A = this chain, B = another copy of it.
Amino acid sequence: MITTLREEFPELSVSKIRFLEGQGLIEPERSASGYRLFSPEDVQRIAFILREQRDNYLPLKVIKSRLASWERGDDPADVTPSGPPPESYFAASGLSMTPEELIKASGLSPRHLRELVDHGLLTPMELPEGKVVYRDDDLAIARAARRLIRQGLEGRHLRVIRLAADREVELLQQLVAPLLRHRNPDNRRRAAQILADSAHAGAQLGESIVRARIRRLLER
């Protein structure tokens, strides 16, 4: 049987392969005597299925439909909904934290927290009494920043990322400026939807480009 796959998935059984075929997820060729013959593409496909199961806990039905829509070259918006759905994309949890709480929740050091504020990555709300309060946006930013800091990046590097994000926001802002000009709730909702989808697509685009570049870098 396919031993290559067993490197990544040691618990892969023959019966599971048969089961996957029974569910219509794979369709290996057959030899004259009825044995299954797996092409490299079949192996890739099985690896994909197993990875989706293991890493994203997707039910086989969902994997199957994604494979199918991928094959049809379908609208990828339906294929990659791994993330919040548009309506909830900007849904704030109402969380608000003191600097101390943010430090605990993000794992940042006070020094790094200050750096992030200085470089404009974190934008706490200033309350009249002189206190400052962070929101859930800031927590997400702080956590991501901490991962990068741990790898050796510093405030000034993160600033580059912030500038890029700002430029992207300007871009998106232009897109919905006409809708936001008048304070009409319907237009506002429409704008939020466009922004949600575009922001998500923009993030995907950026990540895809980075990934492509890095892959080529590593291939050398």
Contact = CB atoms under 8 A, between A and B. Distances in A.
Contacts of A206: 161, 164-165, 168, 203, 206
B62 A198 contact: no
A151 B207 CA distance: 19
Q: Indicate how many identical chains form the complex.
A: 2
Counting contact residues on chain A (CB < 8 A from B), the size range is 35 or more
Nearest to A45: B93
A201 interface: yes
Nearest to A173: B217
A42 to B, nearest CB: 12
A189 to B, nearest CB: 10
A184 interface: no
Contacts of A199: 207, 210-211, 214
Nearest to A71: B105
B205 A141 contact: yes
A38 B66 CA distance: 37
Interface of A: 40, 44, 48, 51, 55-59, 62, 70, 73, 75-77, 79-85, 88-90, 92-94, 104-107, 121, 123, 137-138, 140-141, 143-148, 151-153, 157-158, 160-162, 164-169, 171-173, 175, 188, 191-192, 194-195, 197-218
